[in-house]
Structures are given as structure tokens and as C-alpha cells.
Amino acid sequence: MQRFTRALAGLALVSSLAACVVSPPPPPPAHPDAHEIAVQRLRQVDGRADNLGHRIDNHVNKGFYPPPQGDALHHRLDVIRQEAHDMAAQHGGGLSGEEQRVLNQELDGAAHAIGE
């Protein structure tokens, strides 16, 4: 009878330990390939141009500068955005790091012109 009780207690202990086994952590996310990185660069440039466009609209709505000046600034952003998409079309839909740097410099100049 003692053996049976010990065996039963041992089984209970083993089953409770089995329930505590932690599953292995999920594998780390796969590194994006070069094309995906290039596409992300284009999205970043587009997102920055969109944010600057919203800033222009806010400044015009608050009367910081007249609508014609806002239109001219929007046109400047449209030109930069078109340059970005022209560059991306040459590389299968994305931008190289150097192209992104050049476009960000142009967006820096636009941001300076917009002011805050």
C-alpha cells in the first residue's frame, strides 16, 4: 500500500512538473530583406512629407501665412514627393539610403521654410 501511495504521489509530482514546463520563446522576427528596407525608406519620406503638409494647412488655417504661400509650400512638397517616387520607380519601388538622405535634406529645407 505504501508503494502504491508513493507511486501515486510521484505521478502527481511528475504531472505537476510537466504542467510547469515553459514553451520555448518564439523565434526572433526575420530580418527584412533589402527590398523591404528600401520600401520602408520611401514610406518614411512620404510620411514626413504628409506631416509637413498638415503643418502647412495648420499654419494657413491659423493665419500665419496666406493661402497662396501655403499653396507654394504644398507645391514644393509635391515636387519632393514626385522626386522620391521617380527614384523609387528606378529601384523596384524603394529608395537607397543615399537617396533617402538627399530627400530628407530637401524636406529639412521645406520644414525650415514652413517654420513652427
* Tens digit of pLDDT at every position of the chain (116 positions): 677 677 666 656 666 655 555 567 777 666 778 889 999 999 999 999 999 999 999 999 999 999 999 999 999 999 999 999 999 999 889 999 999 999 999 999 999 999 86
List C-alpha distances in Å: 40 to 24, 79, 95. Answer: 31, 20, 8
Domain of residue 59 covers 32-114
Q: How many domains does the chain have?
A: 1
Residue 41 lies in a domain: yes
Q: Is residue 54 part of a domain?
A: yes
Domain annotation covers residue 48? yes
This prediction's pTM: 0.70
The span from the CA of 41 to the CA of 97, in Å, is: 8
Structural domain contains residue 14: no
Phi/psi at 67 (nearest 5 deg)? -55, -40
**Residue 41 is which amino acid?**
R
Residue 7 lies in a domain: no
The rounded Cα 87 to chain-centroid distance in angstroms is 20
In-domain check, residue 51 = yes
- Asked if residue 27 is part of any domain, the answer here is no
Asked whether residue 109 is assigned to any structural domain, the reply reads yes
